[in-house]
Structure 1
Amino acid sequence: MPISMRPTQALRLWQQVALSEVQGNMPDLSMRQMAILLTVYLDPPPHTVRGLAGQLGVTKPVITRALDTMGALNLVTRHRDEQDRRNVLVRRTVEGALYVERFGDAIIAGARELPI
């Protein structure tokens, strides 16, 4: 079922979710980091640094820096692809899955609070 929203409602939802993330005790990620994280968790694997760079239209070093931060937070891990050692695989973690699920819950909660 499609959701219908006016632009101001969509922006209010985005604001509410952003505020809850900043005020919460969970790490707040940059837009780029969140785009990478959601790609890893919502799109089917395998995910590689090279593939993510191509998909997001950025360089591999940009992806590597974002993954460094997310790896330190245990939201993703990286491993060398044993079948093609040139590739670095990006894998999901339990902590990352919980983070993404909680973020989705925050969006749902914010949408419920929107005026009609």
Structure 2
Amino acid sequence: MAVHLRPSQALRLWQQVNLAEVRDDAPDLTVRQMAILLTIYLDPPPHTVRGLAARLNVTKPVITRALDTMGALKLVSRHRDELDRRNVLIKRTVEGALYVERFGDAIIAKAMELPI
């Protein structure tokens, strides 16, 4: 299914989704945190701090700070890689999966409200 939106419609959709998130009292994630979270949930694992940093073209400390926030919200968890103790594996959580699914549902709902 192809979706055809004018730039103004795409921006309106983005605005409406963000407004719904704020009103819903959902966790406030930055754009960077959301990009990291969606990468973890939409791209196949395993995910590491090093791999996420390379994928998003940011430093490892940037990823670590974002993961600190998302970990406190129980959206992801971190574990030492038993095969290579230098690596930290980022794992999905039930809470995170529900958050991402709910976010996807919010996008669909707001897209359905767009005028044709």
User: Which residue of structure 1 aligns with residue 60 of structure 2?
Assistant: 60
How many residues get paired?
116
Segments of 5+ residues of structure 1 without an aligned counterpart are none
Segments of 5+ residues of structure 2 without an aligned counterpart are none
User: Which residue of structure 2 aligns with residue 14 of structure 1?
Assistant: 14
What TM-score, normalized to structure 1?
A: 0.99
Deviations 1:49-98 (A, max 9, x none): 00000000000000000000000000000000000011000000000000
Q: Distance in 2 between matches of 1:26 and 1:5?
A: 26
User: Which residue of structure 1 aligns with residue 109 of structure 2?
Assistant: 109
What is the aligned-residue identity percentage? 79
Matched, 1:23 2:23: yes
Q: How much does 1:25 deviate?
A: 2.0
What TM-score, normalized to structure 2?
A: 0.99
User: Which residue of structure 1 aligns with residue 32 of structure 2?
Assistant: 32
Q: How much does 1:24 deviate?
A: 1.0
Listed as ranges, the matches of 1:85-104 within 5 Å are 85-104=85-104
Moved over 3 A (4+): none
What amino acid is the match of 2:20?
S
What amino acid is the match of 1:57?
N
Q: Distance in 1 between matches of 2:82 and 2:56?
A: 25
Q: Distance in 2 between matches of 1:63 and 1:24?
A: 26
Listed as ranges, the matches of 1:62-81 within 5 Å are 62-81=62-81
Q: Distance in 2 between matches of 1:21 and 1:64?
A: 24
What amino acid is the match of 1:65?
R
Deviations 1:19-65 (A, max 9, x none): 01111122120000000000000000000000000000000000000
